[in-house]
Amino acid sequence: MRIFSLCAAAALALAPMALHAGDREDLTAAAHAAFASYLDDGDDNPVADWERPIFSTETTKLIAAWEKGLSGDEVEDLNGGGWFCDCQDFDSALFKLALAPHFTEGQATATVDAKVDLGFGGPPRAMQLAMVKEGGKWLIDDLTYDSMAKGVKAALRDAIAAHRKAGR
């Protein structure tokens, strides 16, 4: 009976660590999925980054509002390249990705630092994904990098305001 109690106590003590490991794995997998279309083993028919179901509810609503005001005649900063590479071109065979998740157990928000190598021999690009857990699933709430220092959400809000000002 005592051995059973010790085993049960040990299992209960390890349970939070297992939950923590699962959250870390889920968070990392969700962040990795954002870059899937850039990797050699990615989707053969990729869609634009903003059209993928990987964003939080709030960011998805901003994307929808932004898309309503897009002009078919012009390319804007936000639709002129890939959001997860900050590029127009990359080498999928040589594209490399390193992810470092940062979160606190039990919290519904986290960040993931990403280092992206486009495969052309230059230095990797640093990005940060702000993640939120909605419905038990980690989703991207925002994305920042050098040319998007205020984040994609701020850029979407600015573009939506510009569309409205232009009457779109």
Model pLDDT, residue 84: 92
How many independent structural domains does the chain possess? 1
pLDDT of 168 higher than 90: no
Q: Are strands 96-103 and 125-134 parallel, antiparallel or unpaired?
A: unpaired
Model pLDDT, residue 3: 40
The first and second tokens of residue 28, run together, are 């990392």
Model pLDDT, residue 22: 82
Cα dihedral sign, 142-145-151-153: negative
| 91-125 pLDDT, tens digit each | 988 999 999 999 888 899 999 999 999 999 889 99
What global pTM score does this model have?
0.81
The contacts of residue 56 (CB under 8 Å, 6+ apart) are 132, 134, 139, 140, 141
Model pLDDT, residue 45: 61
Model pLDDT, residue 9: 37
- Give the structural domain span for 87: 22-166
- CATH classification of the domain holding 145: 3.10.450.50
**Residues 50, 3: Cα–Cα separation, whole Å:** 54
Q: Greater confidence, 77 or 57?
A: 57
**Residues 19, 65: Cα–Cα separation, whole Å:** 36
